[in-house]
């Protein structure tokens, strides 16, 4: 004890030499410490204290005060001495770090062992010296953060990765020095948690390596990567995929570091698009890396899936088939087969639209059920084929009125009653909608399901009978479909019977539990009655009715059995019983085979000789389901505006066209196909208005007009031109005649083209101008207020212009142009368009091709008023059709617009793409479209809208009147 | 069968049809044609390409026992090509009758196929032949030839496919009786395909079914439906052992359209039927 005390005192004196305060603390804790340490270690301990005290008394005080606790924490005290050895080396460099080092020693030692200590400490020292340039406290902070998180990181990281992890911190710290940033601090603080999120240690090396590589370019990039990748790796879930993603990221980090975040950020999405196939994903990424080697920016867009080619590559790699690639083809296929207009909609197949117009086929966006694209296509084909079968073989036809008499004797009481009420309101002998009848069955769901099974079976049978070639494909699809069906024996009785029938309707064999075997056999026989080449929808209905009776009887039998077993009273009517027992019987709706769209009974065809349904349904009793079902269809999405019947009586029958009404398709970019007969265009001739506007413009531009006329008259070609070497003509072409004689003399066969022909020479140009008259053209030009009426005294051009609207300037332009065109003698027409919704595109004829330029035409142009919206595509298509009827060789379509196309359900990409498609159609038919826009902001969208079509933007709209004739001249000369 | 019309041989006899060409009447066109011939009224055959117009004329020429001179009209066909011209023979020029003159002089049916394709000046020589005058002015010889009673002018015209510019003028149209042709009904067309190609009935029927389905696509992107002639070609290929899918592709899908979507749709229709 004494020995100890004297030793403590001796050493105290040593410490006191540096700091009295530290010595005092030492005296307090030394007795305990010395009992914990060997003599060697104790000496080192004091040595370290002295070193600290020498640099900072405060540090030494902390050191001595915390020492007992720290030392107690050492699991193996033999390690204290080597730890202090390292501490001493550190302390000579930086006391603060040495202290923190000592604090962390007990927790880190078990993880790295005494041998690892120096390496660990050295990094701290490096960090400190690296970042000391930022100011002592910062560098210190980074190193401290490093030491503190070291123990945490080792909870996650394998010890051999520690140096890599620290290395990254070092690189970041170096970077911080340059950028005066604190990313390394952040790194050490956050990385244990971030890396901790990546559960699999196998991934850590790659993760750190990538971050390190990125840090060489930018610390921010590295941090960004570390922050975001763990969450994404967690979503990727499978180690194989995670490894693959990191491997790609690693390559990218070398090739194009800036692209890595885009890649990581979109990897999940891309993988989904690649149908979860790692190989496809990797191939996609390889293409991206190839791009990255030449163009990093493009690669960024590629990996963030913003580039079209990126999707194209995925699609090409895909084994799935996309509807948009084949929707037009499928539509033509279906139209060819059934001979009726068909519309292909995107939807999720069986759960598609609740109501659909006749001829609508809903198909999924993509089919990737099979590994081979051809097989996926077969699925699409069979789906389309099956639907066109419904159209071809009249699934949507109404039933013959005689059908009720035919089945009347067998009808159950409830149905009879319901029908009696239902039919009271209808005309005797008018056809009946299937839906209507099914709705009257007491157990409507059962009736509907049976009807579906029977009718689908009939269609499939007829299709197989009529089309030999499809059998292969249908067998293939049905085979696949049956694999996914529920096992019949596991279903409740009601569903079991339905399921058995459904399977039998396509496959002819299935495993049926003994309990229902008899019933199914009977039902199957009924099912077979509609499977002959002449079966009609009436036969289907009769069969469905027989099945209904059969199955209901069977189910009620079951119910009675159950009731007698439990000795329950039988008070209620059978119907109600049946309802009560629904759950037991299994009343779930039957999932049809997914190659079949839901057989939509609500869409009945309105073929000729068949009274329109709304009329025949008048005066129905409220009990009828008919009304409830029909009404939503009337106002459903197939007919766009609910109020259109009131406001536009003429529109009630869209097929009945009044003169001057035209229908045009519209391009739908979403499906990659046209919406057939989508827009209705009405031609109108505006009324003549007063000549005031024209007079004013003539007054203002009088001089320019006469100049223009003179100039354009000068361009007018000679009236006649002599063409030589003709087979026939007015005069002999001497030159060729002599040549011909010479040839004859020479024994050759002479040319018989020896005449000159005076041919009328025209410019042979037909130009159509199409003006967007939408409401937006009423915008004022410039800043002045529209209300001031210019006094005649200050009536100069400038004052006028200040109050002018876009449309006014367009008018001036058109009038000037009209004069110029008249002078040059070209055939031209001027049209305008506006409107609202696809049912009401107004097309105004200001001057038609055959009309001479006279005052009425001028006044119509002068009277143009802005109104409504603009559906450019439809108007362009109409002008195209008009131009095609002109005999001129050169056909010009000049579109003058003031902004983006915009109409009801016609905006954004859809509108731009449709306009573009309309222009392309025009071009494909030999018309030269040219677009002039006065929208200064047009640059954003114009490239997309006009694409390869030539266009010009006039940013100074006031110049339009003079520019227009000049543009025209350039276009035609 | 008719041979080259510009040959030096002037004999009309070579234009006589000796073997009965196969033709199945759809309606009463045979009777109508016979009446028109008897009444010396020119006839215009309207209808899509490849539906049997030419075959019908051949058949009629055989039934009426008159020679048939067929001229396939094209853009460069002038009046002289129809009427005749002077040709040089050594140091002298000799007059050679054109096909129209030949038919007018010797009696026979002159059939101008796709007449709208010809140059406008051809109408000048057609008009006086198609009214009560029935004369052919030969300008270069300053002659007027009156047609024999056995002469008949028949033109064919497809209102569907030509451009608006090439429509026949009313003044021309209104000089003819018009017999409208369309693709034959299913059973008839199947018999025709079967007869012409020698395939089995099922194959012929299937081909006709493809034809009908494809014709549904007219105006949905197809200019013209598939002709009976093409169906017969396809049948010929199948008879010779070509796989029906390939035969349909090369004889139906490829010839009638260049639109790849359309071609694929047609191919799918073919594989659906075969």
Provide the 3-class DSSP secondary structure of residue A455.
helix
pLDDT at A131: 62
**B194 pLDDT higher than 90:** yes
Q: Is A385 on the interface with B (CB under 8 A)?
A: yes
Residue B121 touches chain A, beta carbons under 8 Å: yes
Asked if A887 has any chain B CB less than 8 Å from its own CB, the reply is: yes
Looking at residue A153, its pLDDT comes to 81
Question: Quick one: which H or E segment has residue A932?
Answer: strand A927-933
Whether residues B273 and A339 touch (CB distance < 8 A) is answered with no
**Are residues A469 and B271, on separate chains, in Cβ contact within 8 Å?**
yes
Q: What is the per-residue pLDDT for A752?
A: 82
Query: Which residues does A402 contact at the CB level (< 8 Å), separation at least 6?
Result: none
Option in B80, B165, B217 nearest A336 (CB): B217
Greater confidence, A822 or A423? A822
Q: B80 in contact with A at a CB cutoff of 8 Å?
A: yes
CB of A312 less than 8 A from some CB of B: no
- Over residues A175-198, the pLDDT tens digits come to 777 777 778 878 888 888 888 888
Of these ranges, A444-453, A857-866, B148-157, B252-261, the one predicted with the greatest mean pLDDT is: B148-157
Are A690 and A801 a contacting pair, CB within 8 Å?
Answer: no
Task: Give residue-wise pLDDT tens across range A88-113.
Answer: 888 877 777 888 888 888 888 888 88
| Residue A731, C-beta contacts closer than 8 angstroms, at least 6 positions apart | A755, A756
Q: Between A776 and A626, whose confidence is greater?
A: A776
The mean pLDDT value for A26-40 works out to 84
Q: pLDDT class for A425, splitting at 50, 70, 90?
A: low
Most confident of A159-173, A320-334, A415-429, B213-227: A320-334
Spatial separation of the C-alpha atoms in residues B25 and B56, rounded to whole Å: 9
Mean pLDDT of chain A: 76
Residue matched to tokens 């075969």: B274
Angstrom CA distances, A907 to A52, A213, A641, stand at 74, 45, 17
Token pair listed for B152: 């008949």
Binary contact (B273, A469; C-beta < 8 A): yes
Rounded CA-CA distance A753/A736 in Å is 7
Q: Which range has highest mean pLDDT (A243-247, A309-313, A635-639)?
A: A243-247
Supply the pLDDT for residue A264: 86
| Partner-chain contact A470 B264, CB within 8 Å | no
* Average pLDDT of the segment spanning A667-679: 78
Taking contacts as CB-CB distances below 8 angstroms, the residues of chain A near B164 are: 884-885, 887
Per-residue confidence (pLDDT) for residue A960, from 0 to 100: 79
* Chain B residue nearest residue A333, CA to CA: B265
Q: Residue A443, Cα to own-chain centre: how many angstroms?
A: 42
Cα→Cα distances A435→A123, A396, A450, B191, Å: 81, 10, 13, 42
Q: Which residues, 6 or more positions from B94, have their beta carbon under 8 angstroms from its beta carbon?
A: B86, B87, B88
Report the pLDDT value the prediction gives residue B31, as an integer from 0 to 100. Answer: 94
**Maximum average pLDDT range among A416-430, A751-765, A827-841:** A827-841
* Min Cα separation B43/chain A (Å): 28
Closest in B164, B269, B271 to A336, CB measured: B269
* Other CB atoms within 10 Å distance of the CB of residue A742: 11
Between residues 429 and 468 of chain A, which touch chain B (CB distance below 8 Å)?
466-468
Q: How many CB atoms sit inside 10 A of residue A703's CB?
A: 8
A821: pLDDT confidence band, cut at 50, 70 and 90?
confident
- Looking at residue A736, its pLDDT comes to 84
* Mean pLDDT in residue range B202-230: 85
Which of A333, A466, A468 comes nearest B268 by C-beta? A333
What tokens were used for A584?
A: 């037991």
Query: In Å, what is the CA distance from A291 to each residue of A30, A286, A306, A820?
Result: 68, 9, 14, 52
Look up residue A805 and give its DSSP letter: B
Nearest CB to B220 within list A332, A385, A750? A332
pLDDT of residue B114: 86
Q: What pLDDT is recorded for position A688?
A: 67
- Decide if A330 and B121 are in contact by the 8 Å CB cutoff: no
Question: Which residue on chain B is closest to A342 by alpha carbon?
Answer: B220
Three-state secondary structure call for residue B43: strand
Distance from CA of B270 to the nearest CA of A (A): 8
Which tens digit of pLDDT belongs to each residue from A201-227? 888 888 888 888 888 888 888 888 888
Q: Check CB contact of B265 with chain A, cutoff 8 Å.
A: yes
The DSSP element (H or E) to which A894 belongs, if any, is strand A890-897
C-alpha distance from B32 to closest chain A C-alpha (Å): 32
The first and second tokens of residue A971, run together, are 């276009």
pLDDT at A788 > cutoff 50: no
* Residue B256 contacts A, CB cutoff 8 Å: no
DSSP reduced 3-state for A270: helix
Triad A538, A541, A543: Cα angle to 5°: 110
* Residue in A338, A468, A750 closest to B206 by CB: A468
Q: Closest approach of chain A CAs to the CA of B254, in angstroms?
A: 15
Query: Chain A contact for B206, CB < 8 A?
Result: yes
Whether residue A769 is predicted with pLDDT greater than 70 in this model: the reply is yes
Cα separation, B114 vs B42, whole angstroms? 15
Q: Do A336 and B209 lie within an 8 Å CB cutoff?
A: no
Residue B81 with chain A: CB contacts under 8 Å: none
Alpha carbon distance A936, A933 (integer Å): 8
pLDDT mean over A253-267:
86
pLDDT at A561 over 90: no
In 3D space, the residue among A783, A728, A770, A727 whose CA is nearest the CA of residue A751 turns out to be A727
Cβ contacts of B213 on chain A, cutoff 8 Å: 336-337, 339
Put simply, whether A885 touches B (Cβ < 8 Å) is yes
Place of tokens 């073929």: A607
Q: Which residues of B touch A925 (CB under 8 A)?
A: none
pLDDT at residue B110 in the model: 93
Q: Do A335 and B214 touch (CB under 8 A)?
A: no
Residue with the bigger pLDDT between B59 and A822: it is B59
Closest-approach residue (CA) in chain B for A338: B213
**A330 at interface of B, judged by CB pairs closer than 8 A:** yes
| CA–CA separation, A250 and A671 (whole Å) | 38
CB-nearest to A328 from B216, B261, B271 is: B261
Minimum Cα–Cα distance from A325: chain B residue: B261
B165 in contact with A, Cβ within 8 Å:
yes
pLDDT digits (tens, 9 = 90+) for A265-322: 888 888 888 877 888 888 888 888 888 888 888 888 888 887 777 888 887 777 778 8
A148 or B110, higher pLDDT = B110
Residues of B in contact with A884 (CB under 8 A): 164
Locus of tokens 């030491």:
A147
Q: What angle do CA A13, A18, A23 make, to 5 degrees?
A: 50
Distance from the B209 Cα atom to the nearest Cα atom in chain A, whole angstroms: 9
Interface check A750 vs B, CB under 8 A: yes
Which span out of A391-395, A454-458, A569-573, B3-7 was modeled with the highest average pLDDT? Answer: A454-458
Closest Cα in chain A to B261? A329
A381 touches chain B (CB under 8 A): yes
Taking an 8 Å cut-off on Cβ atoms, the answer to whether B261 and A338 are in contact is no
B60 pLDDT tier (thresholds 50, 70, 90):
very high
Strand-pair partners of A157? none
The shortest C-alpha distance from A590 to chain B (Å) reads 29
Longest dimension (CA), chain A: 149
Residue A581, pLDDT above cutoff 50: no
Residues of B in contact with A333 (CB under 8 A): 265, 268-269, 272
Tens of pLDDT, residues A110-152:
888 888 888 888 888 877 776 665 554 555 677 788 888 877 8
Residue B195: both structure tokens together: 């007869």
The neighbouring-strand residues paired with A870 are A902
User: Is B213 close to A884, i.e. CB distance below 8 A?
Assistant: no
Which chain B residue shows the shortest CA-CA distance from A750? B88
Mean pLDDT of chain B: 85
Query: Range with the lowest mean pLDDT among A948-957, B10-19, B156-165?
Result: B156-165
Residue B217 touches partner A, C-beta closer than 8 Å: yes
Two structure tokens written together for B30: 């045979």
Query: E strand or H helix at A759, and its extent?
Result: strand A755-760
Contact (CB<8Å) A727/B206: no
Mutate to test the interface with A, among B85, B265, B270, B271 (most CBs of A within 10 A): B265
Please judge whether B88 and A750 are an interchain contact, meaning their C-beta atoms are less than 8 angstroms apart: yes
Q: What is the pLDDT of residue A353?
A: 36
The band of A22, judged by pLDDT with boundaries at 50, 70 and 90, is confident
Q: Over range B102-127, report the average pLDDT.
A: 86
Asked if residue A69 lies in contact with residue A104, where contact means CB atoms within 8 angstroms, the answer is no
pLDDT tens sequence across B157-193: 877 554 444 567 778 888 899 998 888 999 999 999 9
pLDDT digits (tens, 9 = 90+) for A69-82: 888 888 888 888 88
Question: Taking 60 as the threshold, does the pLDDT of residue A56 lie above it?
Answer: yes
Provide the whole-model pTM: 0.55
CB contact under 8 A, A329 and B261: yes
Confidence of residue B209 (pLDDT cuts 50, 70, 90): very high
Tell me the HSE value of A179 on the side-chain side, using a 13 A CA sphere.
15
Chain A, 335 to 364: residues with Cβ < 8 Å from chain B are 335-339, 341
> Residue B158 has what pLDDT?
79
Q: What pLDDT band is residue A564 in, cutting at 50, 70 and 90? A: low
pLDDT band, very low/low/confident/very high, at A4 (cuts 50, 70, 90): low
d(CA B213, nearest CA chain A) in Å: 5
């Amino acid at each position: 004890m004494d020995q100890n005390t004297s030793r403590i005192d001796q050493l105290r004196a040593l410490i006191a030499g540096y700091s009295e305060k530290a010595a005092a603390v030492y005296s307090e804790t030394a007795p305990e410490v010395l009992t914990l340490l060997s003599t060697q270690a104790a000496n080192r301990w004091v040595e370290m204290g002295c070193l600290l005290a020498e640099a900072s008394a405060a540090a030494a005080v902390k050191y001595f005060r915390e020492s007992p606790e720290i030392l107690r924490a050492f699991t193996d005290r033999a390690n204290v001495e080597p730890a202090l050895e390292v501490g001493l080396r550190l302390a000579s460099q930086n006391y603060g770090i040495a202290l923190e080092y000592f604090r962390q020693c007990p927790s880190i030692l078990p993880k790295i062992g005494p041998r690892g200590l120096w390496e660990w400490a050295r990094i701290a020292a490096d960090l400190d010296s690296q970042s000391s340039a930022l100011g002592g406290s910062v560098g210190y902070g980074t190193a401290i953060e490093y030491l503190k998180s070291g123990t945490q990181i080792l909870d996650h990281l394998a010890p051999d990765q520690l140096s890599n992890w620290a290395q990254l911190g070092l690189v970041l710290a170096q970077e911080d020095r340059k950028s005066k940033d604190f990313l390394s601090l952040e790194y050490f603080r956050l990385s244990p948690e971030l890396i901790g999120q990546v559960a699999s240690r196998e991934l850590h090396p790659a993760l750190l390596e990538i971050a390190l590589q990125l840090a060489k370019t930018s610390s921010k990039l590295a941090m960004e990567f570390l922050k975001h990748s763990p969450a994404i790796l967690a979503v990727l879930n499978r180690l194989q995929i995670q490894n693959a993603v990191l491997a790609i990221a690693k390559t990218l980090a070398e090739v194009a570091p800036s692209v890595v975040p885009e890649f990581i950020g979109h990897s999940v999405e891309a993988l989904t698009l690649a149908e979860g196939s790692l190989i496809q994903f990797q191939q996609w990424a390889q293409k991206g890396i190839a791009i990255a080697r030449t163009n990093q920016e493009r690669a960024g867009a590629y990996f963030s899936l913003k580039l079209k080619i990126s999707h194209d590559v995925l699609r090409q790699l895909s084994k799935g088939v996309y509807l948009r690639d084949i929707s037009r083809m499928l539509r033509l296929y279906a139209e060819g087969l059934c001979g009726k207009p068909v519309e292909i909609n995107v939807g999720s197949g069986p759960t598609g639209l609740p109501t659909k117009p006749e001829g609508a086929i809903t198909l999924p966006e993509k089919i990737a059920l099979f590994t081979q694209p051809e097989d996926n296509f077969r699925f699409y084909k069979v789906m389309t084929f099956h639907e066109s079968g419904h159209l071809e073989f009249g699934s949507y036809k109404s039933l013959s009125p005689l059908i009720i008499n035919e089945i009347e004797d067998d009808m159950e009481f409830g149905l009879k009653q319901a029908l009696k009420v239902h039919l009271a309101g209808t005309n005797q002998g008018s056809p009946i909608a299937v839906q209507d009848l099914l709705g009257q069955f007491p157990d409507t769901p059962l009736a509907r399901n049976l009807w579906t099974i029977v009718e689908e079976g009939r269609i499939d049978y007829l299709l197989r009978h009529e089309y030999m070639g499809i059998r292969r494909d249908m067998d293939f699809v049905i085979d696949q479909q049956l694999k996914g069906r529920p096992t019949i024996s596991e279903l409740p009785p009601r569903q079991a019977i339905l399921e058995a029938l459904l399977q039998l309707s396509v496959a002819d064999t299935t495993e049926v539990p003994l309990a229902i075997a008899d019933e199914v056999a009977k039902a199957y026989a009924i099912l077979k009655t509609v499977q002959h080449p002449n079966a009609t929808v009436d036969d289907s209905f009769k069969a469905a009715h027989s099945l209904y009776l059969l199955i209901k009887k069977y189910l009620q039998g079951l119910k009675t059995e159950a009731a007698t077993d439990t000795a329950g009273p039988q008070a209620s009517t059978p119907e109600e019983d049946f309802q009560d027992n629904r759950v037991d019987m299994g009343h779930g709706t039957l999932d049809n085979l997914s190659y079949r769209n839901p057989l939509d009974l609500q869409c009945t065809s309105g073929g000729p000789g068949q009274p329109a349904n709304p009329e025949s349904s008048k005066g129905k009793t409220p009990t009828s389901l008919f009304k409830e079902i029909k009404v939503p269809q009337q106002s459903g999405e197939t007919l766009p505006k609910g109020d259109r019947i009131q406001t536009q009586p003429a529109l009630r029958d869209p097929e009945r066209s009044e003169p001057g009404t035209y229908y045009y398709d519209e391009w739908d970019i979403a499906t990659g196909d046209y919406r057939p007969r989508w827009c209705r265009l009405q031609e109108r001739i505006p009324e003549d208005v007063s000549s005031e506007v024209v007079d004013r413009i003539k007054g203002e531009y009088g001089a320019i007009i006469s100049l223009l006329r003179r100039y354009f008259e000068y361009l007018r070609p000679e009236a006649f031109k002599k063409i030589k070497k003709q087979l026939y003509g007015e005069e002999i072409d001497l030159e060729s005649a002599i040549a011909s004689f010479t040839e004859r003399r020479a024994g050759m066969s002479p040319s018989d083209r020896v005449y000159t022909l005076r041919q009328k020479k025209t410019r042979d140009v037909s130009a159509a101008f199409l003006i967007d008259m939408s409401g937006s053209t009423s915008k004022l030009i410039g800043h002045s207020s529209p209300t001031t009426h210019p006094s005649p005294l200050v009536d100069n051009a400038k004052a006028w212009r200040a109050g002018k609207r876009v449309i006014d300037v367009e008018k001036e332009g058109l009038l000037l142009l009209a004069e110029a065109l008249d002078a040059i003698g070209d055939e031209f027409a001027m049209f305008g368009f506006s409107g609202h919704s696809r049912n009401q595109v107004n097309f105004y004829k200001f001057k038609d091709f055959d009309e001479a330029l006279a005052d009425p035409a001028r006044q119509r142009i002068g009277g143009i008023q802005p109104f409504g919206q603009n559906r450019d595509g439809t108007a362009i298509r109409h002008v195209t059709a008009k131009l095609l009827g002109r005999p001129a060789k050169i056909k010009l379509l000049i579109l003058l617009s003031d902004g983006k196309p915009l109409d009801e359900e016609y905006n954004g990409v859809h509108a731009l793409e449709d306009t573009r498609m309309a222009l392309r159609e025009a071009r494909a038919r030999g018309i030269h479209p040219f677009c002039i826009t006065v929208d200064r902001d047009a640059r954003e969208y114009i490239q997309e809208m006009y694409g390869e079509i030539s266009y010009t933007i006039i940013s100074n709209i006031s110049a339009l009147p003079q520019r227009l004739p000049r543009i025209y001249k350039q276009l035609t000369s | 069968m008719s041979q080259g019309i510009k040959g030096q041989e002037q004999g009309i006899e070579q234009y006589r049809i000796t073997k009965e060409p196969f033709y199945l009447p759809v309606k009463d066109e045979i009777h109508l044609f016979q009446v028109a011939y008897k009444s010396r009224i020119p006839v215009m055959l309207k209808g899509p390409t490849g539906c049997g117009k030419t075959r019908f004329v051949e058949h009629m020429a055989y039934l009426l026992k008159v020679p048939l001179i067929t001229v396939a009209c094209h853009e460069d066909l002038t009046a002289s090509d129809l009427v005749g011209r002077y040709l040089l023979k050594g140091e002298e020029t000799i007059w050679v009758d054109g096909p129209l003159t030949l038919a007018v002089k010797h009696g026979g049916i002159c059939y101008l196929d796709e007449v709208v394709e010809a140059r406008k000046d051809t109408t000048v020589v057609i008009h006086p032949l198609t009214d009560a005058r029935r004369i052919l002015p030969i300008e270069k010889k300053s002659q007027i030839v009156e047609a024999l009673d056995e002469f008949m002018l028949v033109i064919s015209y497809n209102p569907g496919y030509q451009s608006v510019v090439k429509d026949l003028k009313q003044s021309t149209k209104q000089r003819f009786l018009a017999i409208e042709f369309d693709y034959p009904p299913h059973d008839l067309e199947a018999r025709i395909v079967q007869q012409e190609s020698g395939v089995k009935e099922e194959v012929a029927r299937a081909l006709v079914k493809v034809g009908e389905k494809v014709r549904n696509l007219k105006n949905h992107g197809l200019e013209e439906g598939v002709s009976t002639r093409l169906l017969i070609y396809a049948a010929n290929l199948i008879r010779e052992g070509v796989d029906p899918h390939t035969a349909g592709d090369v004889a139906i899908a490829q010839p009638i359209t260049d639109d790849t979507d359309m071609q694929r749709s047609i191919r799918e229709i073919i594989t659906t039927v075969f």
